[in-house]
Amino acid sequence: MTQKEKLVVIGNGMAGVNTVEHILKLAPNQFDITIFGSEPHPNYNRILLSYVLAGDSKVDDIVINSYEWYKEHGISLYTGETITKINTESKTVTSDKGTTISYDKLIISTGSNAFMLPLPGADKEGVIAYRTIQDCEYMMEAAKNYKKAVVIGGGLLGLEAARGFLNLGMKVDVVHICDSIMERQLDRTASKMLQDKLESQGMNFLLNKQTEKILGKDRVKGLKFSDGSKVDADLVVMAVGITPNVQLAVDAGIEVKRGIVVNDFLETSIKDIFAVGECAEHRGIGYGLVAPLFEQGAVLAKNIAGVDTNPYEGSVVYTKLKVSGVDVFSGGQFIDGENTKSIKIEDEFSGIYKKVLIRENKIIGAVLFGDTSDGSRLMQMIRNETDITGFEKAAILQEPGENGNAGSSVADMSDEEIICGCNGVSKGEICSAIKEQGLTSVEEVKNCTTASRSCGGCKPLVNDLLEYTLGDEFDKSAQKETMCECIDLEKDEIVTQIKEKGLSHVREVMSVLGWKNDEGCSKCRPAINYYLGMVNPEQYKDDSTSRFVNERMHANIQKDGTYSVVPRMYGGVTNPADLKKIATVAEKYNVPKVKITGGQRIDLLGVKKEDLTNMWEELDMPSGYAYGKAVRTVKTCVGEEFCRFGTADSMGMGIQIEKRFERLNTPAKVKMAVSGCPRNCAESGIKDLGVVAIDGGWELYAGGNGGVKLRKGDLVSTVKTEAEVIEYTEAYLQYYRETGVYGERTSEWVERLGVQHIQDVLADETKRKELCGRMDTALSVLKDPWKEAVKSEKIQKDLYEVIEAK
Amino acid sequence: MNNLNGERSWVEVAMYDELPVNSGKTVRFKDKELAIFRLTSGKILVIENRCPHKDGVLAEGIVSGEYVFCPLHDRKIDLSSGLVQNPDTGCVKTFDVSIENGKVYIDLLEKSEIAS
Ligand SMILES: Cc1cc2nc3c(=O)[nH]c(=O)nc-3n(C[C@H](O)[C@H](O)[C@H](O)COP(=O)(O)OP(=O)(O)OC[C@H]3O[C@@H](n4cnc5c(N)ncnc54)[C@H](O)[C@@H]3O)c2cc1C
Ligand code: SF4
Ligand code: SF4
Ligand code: FES
């Protein structure tokens, strides 16, 4: 047997390991592979660090290849070891720990270093970069002890870091040298819209500021700017750019300009040494995004494995900001110039901006804000240099119509082209998975290939690929937002069928409408149960086995399997007698933790399920519904009764609303609040329905949300009397009940239907009265579940008993 | 296979008729906690009451056919094999059940132990 060739890779990051993955597929037995990485981790998805910082992922979740993977493929991995020397004569590399290894082929994929501004004080404790897991962990740790972060740099990375800090509960200022953020990706209009949106999320911007000095003794205390102003900071993150990590190559005499110079086959100036990723410079360009690096990797892998390949000719790049609740996309060239024309849509009302730049009848760039669904389609047109001469101009910004002539075809893409930038999945991989595994939906492609599993930006392309690969077998109906995997129908279709066919049981709906699984799943069962109850409140008998545990048990399940009990406390108002009762019960049942909830109620946490019904009996208070897709709480401020600013009785109003709507089932949880004046101490602006007293009346705000997707409510009506507040609330909630998709919060619902539409419905007296009528019926049948459970031995036995076997 | 010889430990846990249909119930025996399910089909299946993901209590999950959905993060688990379904992985222990004279008995020997 011939000896295997020795392949050494310096850099255990996204580009290097991706290249190795390709090589393993092309030539699994050709090489003895060794990888060196300075970081003490297997390779991970650097892009997703922003999600780790934002608290949406854990470090473990972003590892791309585990240590086992390296082992399985016989790769020798040296983590925490930095190569300090390449000897091109003896063809060896040497690490800082003294390891020397010889190579036949060498790949340099050392990435970049974060660029640190050489400011006085930049070496103080608390001044860091944002690049690695270690940086990310440092920031998360710092957030526990410090309050105020400053991010220098208003680009993609800086904004993602800033969003992370907000999630970590810190205050954050973003310092930027220009007068508009993300100026390299966005035009002014989009930049301003983005800034407004981020400001509404709590970010503060200091634009046009040049940092002069970092203040503090040992640890950073603040920043001083060239205009003399200052700002406090406990933590400073520099996100002002990157510099390719090229020192090794320079020392080894490899040609380096800004990056390591490579040709179209990723070869450096020295034979058998290649470079790929951020450290490389191709045709004068260094790329700082993963999609181009993966394209390079695919070419390099073929070159090294001796497989024929087309040259790498550069990439058209695009960016997408990964910040929750903000959709921004930009690709290609987007700043108007000579002989460019643009097509624009600016919808200030819905916060949508789209711009496509055209030169010589070809689309050369696009900026999208608020709705980025056109992004991948436009990118295709940019890459393919599609001639748009025959196109209806306005149609370019819409989904391709029947004849599809505004679109562009995935058919034209090469198999190597990366579809999912986050996970590096190419067209070829997706198509063969579709064919070989018989996939038929985006969901299946996602589970099988991981394409679109991270940011989801490539979903439309994956869908196009399905259509293209399956041809006639492609089932359009399977691609819509169906309720779940059990059925190809959407919510509206199901509700219509329930009404038309007079369906009245969960199982009946499933068998009549042709469910694929006899008994559905955890997604459709609760939804159908809700729809049936909504359509027929008086006749429908609730199916508790189709309810999520919290609603079946009428208490919140906690992670250890205990429950939390929250008694109803209308408007957040209580009295000494109730407090005593709660205290006595808590003591008697050894409740481990008593807490005030975000909705101003008392939460008894850590209760065993066997104790629930006894506690409820002794509390003898109504259930607080802190667990259901239902009306939860109405938070109130003190209002005119005590507050020196109050102009109305907010407590009284809140209590009235809560008493009227308690126990009402809704598509998702509903939280409300009433404030006694525009100072808004009850935080009515971020509630599903917020009521704010103004002089001589009340304002109603809809669709606010303080949760994962922070959203400020929209003013939908201004009314005069308390009776009108109730009437409008009835109509609003009932309309939401009837048109909301199960699981959809009002914040999403308001955006889907449009604020204007909801204003119109509420303003229409006939509609309002009809809605109120149906609300009356819905409310008339509700009973307190705690009382029911206390009364019924069967319920107690079925749901709360634990069998002690002997 | 030696476990099969007389070491089975059948424990009486409930009357068949008293088990609620299509939802789980917690059974405690010494330091073990199991979840017992009476399915729509009439079948009784028993698994360990802890999800392999993050210890979710499975007795409280939504039951569909022969699967239970963990109430904490919705992993789907096959009640008869104990296998967590794609794309997630893992498994829970399963236990044999026998019904005599309307009484339900569980064999506290894990099936997986018998098999190995
Ligand atoms: C927080 C964050 C968010 C991002 N978000 C996006 C995004 O949304 N979209 C996007 O396209 N891109 C994004 N990027 C950029 C993207 O992560 C990089 O373009 C990509 O990781 C570069 O890959 P690479 O392999 O060239 O470098 P890296 O992934 O940085 O890998 C280089 C590795 O080499 C190691 N190394 C360096 N020198 C040596 C040596 N001498 N010896 C041994 N090992 C060495 C380093 O420790 C490092 O692990 C983001 C980057 C960051 C930091
Ligand atoms: S919202 Fe107005 S009335 Fe209510 S407590 Fe605040 S200041 Fe007082
Ligand atoms: S209570 Fe709400 S905000 Fe707090 S950890 Fe649980 S889900 Fe998150
Ligand atoms: S604990 Fe069961 S799915 Fe997470």
A795 at interface of B, judged by CB pairs closer than 8 A: no
Average pLDDT over residues A378-405: 65
Is 70 exceeded by the pLDDT of residue A403? no
Q: How many CA atoms lie within 13 A of A330 on its CB side?
A: 19
Compute, in angstroms, the gap from residue A693 CA to the centroid of ligand 2. Answer: 9
Ligand number nearest to the C-alpha of A692: 2
Structure tokens at A783: 């009973």
Query: Per-residue confidence at A443, pLDDT binned at 50, 70, 90?
Result: confident
Average pLDDT over residues A459-464: 79
Cα(B96)–Cα(A474) distance, rounded to whole angstroms?
44
A69 at interface of B, judged by CB pairs closer than 8 A: no
Is 90 exceeded by the pLDDT of residue A236? yes
The shortest C-alpha distance from B106 to chain A (Å) reads 10
Query: Per-residue confidence at A703, pLDDT binned at 50, 70, 90?
Result: very high
Structure tokens at A86: 């390449």
User: Closest Cα to residue A456, out of A367, A329, A275, A365?
Assistant: A329
B-chain residues within 8 Å CB-CB of A802? 25-28
Q: Do B23 and A553 touch (CB under 8 A)?
A: no
Cα(A603)–Cα(A587) distance, rounded to whole angstroms?
13
The shortest C-alpha distance from B115 to chain A (Å) reads 25
pLDDT at A479: 53
Closest-CA residue in chain A for B65? A519
pLDDT digits (tens, 9 = 90+) for A86-103: 999 999 999 999 999 999
What secondary structure, in 3-state letters, does A127-196 show? Answer: EEECCCHHHHHHHHHHHHHCCEEEEECCCHHHHHHHHHHHHCCCEEEEECCCCCCCCCCCCHHHHHHHHH
Average pLDDT over residues A392-415: 58
Cα(A755)–Cα(A351) distance, rounded to whole angstroms?
12
Kindly state the percentage of chain A with pLDDT values over 70: 95
Q: Do A797 and B18 touch (CB under 8 A)?
A: yes
Q: At what angle do helices A576-588 and A609-619 cross, to 10 degrees?
A: 150
Q: Answer yes or no: are the C-beta atoms of A170 and A162 closer than 8 Å.
A: no
A196 at interface of B, judged by CB pairs closer than 8 A: no
Is 60 exceeded by the pLDDT of residue A711? yes
Q: Do B76 and A522 touch (CB under 8 A)?
A: yes
Average pLDDT over residues A121-131: 92
pLDDT at A407: 45
Which of residues 360 through 389 in chain A touch B, CB cutoff 8 A?
none
Q: Do A803 and B14 touch (CB under 8 A)?
A: yes
B-chain residues within 8 Å CB-CB of A519? 22, 40, 63-65
Is 80 exceeded by the pLDDT of residue A801? yes
Q: How far is CA A105 from CA A274, A572, B58, in A?
A: 8, 70, 53
Q: Which of A518, A526, A559 sits opposite B65 (nearest CB)?
A: A518
Residue from B47, B49, B51, B88 to probe ligand 4 pocket by mutation (most atoms less than 8 Å from CB): B51
**Is the distance from the beta carbon of residue B53 to the nearest atom of ligand 4 less than 6 Å?**
yes
Cα(A469)–Cα(A448) distance, rounded to whole angstroms?
16
Is 60 exceeded by the pLDDT of residue A415? yes
What secondary structure, in 3-state letters, does A685-703 show? Answer: HHCCEEEEEECCEEEEEEC
Query: Per-residue confidence at A392, pLDDT binned at 50, 70, 90?
Result: low
Average pLDDT over residues A147-162: 92
To test the contact with chain A by mutation, choose from B11, B13, B62, B63 the residue with the greatest count of A C-beta atoms within 10 A, namely B62
Point out the least confidently predicted range of A182-191, A327-336, A673-682.
A327-336
Q: Do B25 and A803 touch (CB under 8 A)?
A: yes
Structure tokens at A272: 């058998």
Query: Per-residue confidence at A476, pLDDT binned at 50, 70, 90?
Result: low
Query: Per-residue confidence at A400, pLDDT binned at 50, 70, 90?
Result: very low
pLDDT at A738: 95
The shortest C-alpha distance from A682 to chain B (Å) reads 31
Compute, in angstroms, the gap from residue B91 CA to the centroid of ligand 4. Answer: 12
Q: Answer yes or no: are the C-beta atoms of A4 and A31 closer than 8 Å.
A: yes
Compute, in angstroms, the gap from residue A205 CA to the centroid of ligand 3. Answer: 29
Cα(A509)–Cα(A370) distance, rounded to whole angstroms?
37
Q: Do B25 and A801 touch (CB under 8 A)?
A: yes
Radius of gyration of chain B (CA): 14
Cα(A752)–Cα(A764) distance, rounded to whole angstroms?
20
pLDDT at B4: 43
Q: What is the ipTM of this complex?
A: 0.89
pLDDT at B116: 38
Q: Do B28 and A804 touch (CB under 8 A)?
A: yes
Whether the ω angle into residue B87 lies within 30 degrees of 0, i.e. cis, is yes
Compute, in angstroms, the gap from residue A626 CA to the centroid of ligand 3. Answer: 12
B-chain residues within 8 Å CB-CB of A552? 23, 60
**Is the distance from the beta carbon of residue A675 to the nearest atom of ligand 2 less than 6 Å?**
yes
Matching residue, tokens 């009397």: A721
Contacts of A358 by beta carbon, 8 Å cutoff, 6+ apart: A340, A341, A342, A343, A364, A388
A522 at interface of B, judged by CB pairs closer than 8 A: yes
pLDDT at A2: 62
pLDDT at A162: 94
Average pLDDT over residues A26-43: 94
**Is the distance from the beta carbon of residue A11 to the nearest atom of ligand 1 less than 6 Å?**
yes
What secondary structure, in 3-state letters, does A37-104 show? Answer: ECCCCCCECHHHHHHHHCCCCCHHHHECCCHHHHHHCCCEEEECCCEEEEECCCCEEEECCCCEEECC
Point out the least confidently predicted range of A29-38, A261-270, A415-424, B79-88.
A415-424
Is 70 exceeded by the pLDDT of residue A507? yes
Helical ranges in A386-490 per DSSP H = 427-437, 442-449, 459-470
Q: Which residue has the higher pLDDT, A327 or A725?
A: A725
Question: What pairs with residue A341 in β-bridges?
Answer: A358
Query: Per-residue confidence at A737, pLDDT binned at 50, 70, 90?
Result: very high
Point out the least confidently predicted range of A197-201, A481-485, A632-636.
A481-485
Ligand number nearest to the C-alpha of A18: 1
Q: Do B87 and A447 touch (CB under 8 A)?
A: yes
pTM, rounded to two decimals: 0.54
Instruction: Identify the top-confidence range among A114-123, A336-345, A444-453, A466-475.
Output: A114-123
Kindly state the percentage of chain A with pLDDT values over 90: 62
**Is the distance from the beta carbon of residue B73 to the nearest atom of ligand 4 less than 6 Å?**
yes
Is 80 exceeded by the pLDDT of residue A380? no
Average pLDDT over residues A468-491: 73
Closest-CA residue in chain A for B17? A798
Q: Do A522 and B36 touch (CB under 8 A)?
A: no
A57 at interface of B, judged by CB pairs closer than 8 A: no
CA-proximal residue: ligand 4, atom 4 (nearest): B73
The shortest C-alpha distance from A20 to chain B (Å) reads 25
Closest-CA residue in chain A for B66? A519
3-state secondary structure of A768: helix
Query: Per-residue confidence at B88, pLDDT binned at 50, 70, 90?
Result: confident
User: Closest Cα to residue A699, out of A711, A687, A707, A710?
Assistant: A687
Q: Answer yes or no: are the C-beta atoms of A714 and A705 closer than 8 Å.
A: no
Question: What pairs with residue A205 in β-bridges?
Answer: A174
pLDDT at A525: 94
**Is the distance from the beta carbon of residue A105 to the nearest atom of ligand 1 less than 6 Å?**
no
**What is the overall mean pLDDT for chain A?**
89
pLDDT digits (tens, 9 = 90+) for A649-666: 999 999 999 999 999 999
Q: Which of A548, A797, A803 sits opposite B26 (nearest CB)?
A: A803
Q: Do B61 and A549 touch (CB under 8 A)?
A: yes
Q: Do A526 and B25 touch (CB under 8 A)?
A: no
Average pLDDT over residues A255-281: 96
pLDDT at A340: 82
Is 70 exceeded by the pLDDT of residue A453? no
Q: Which of A557, A799, A801 sits opposite B71 (nearest CB)?
A: A557
Cα(A325)–Cα(A710) distance, rounded to whole angstroms?
7
A-chain residues within 8 Å CB-CB of B40? 519
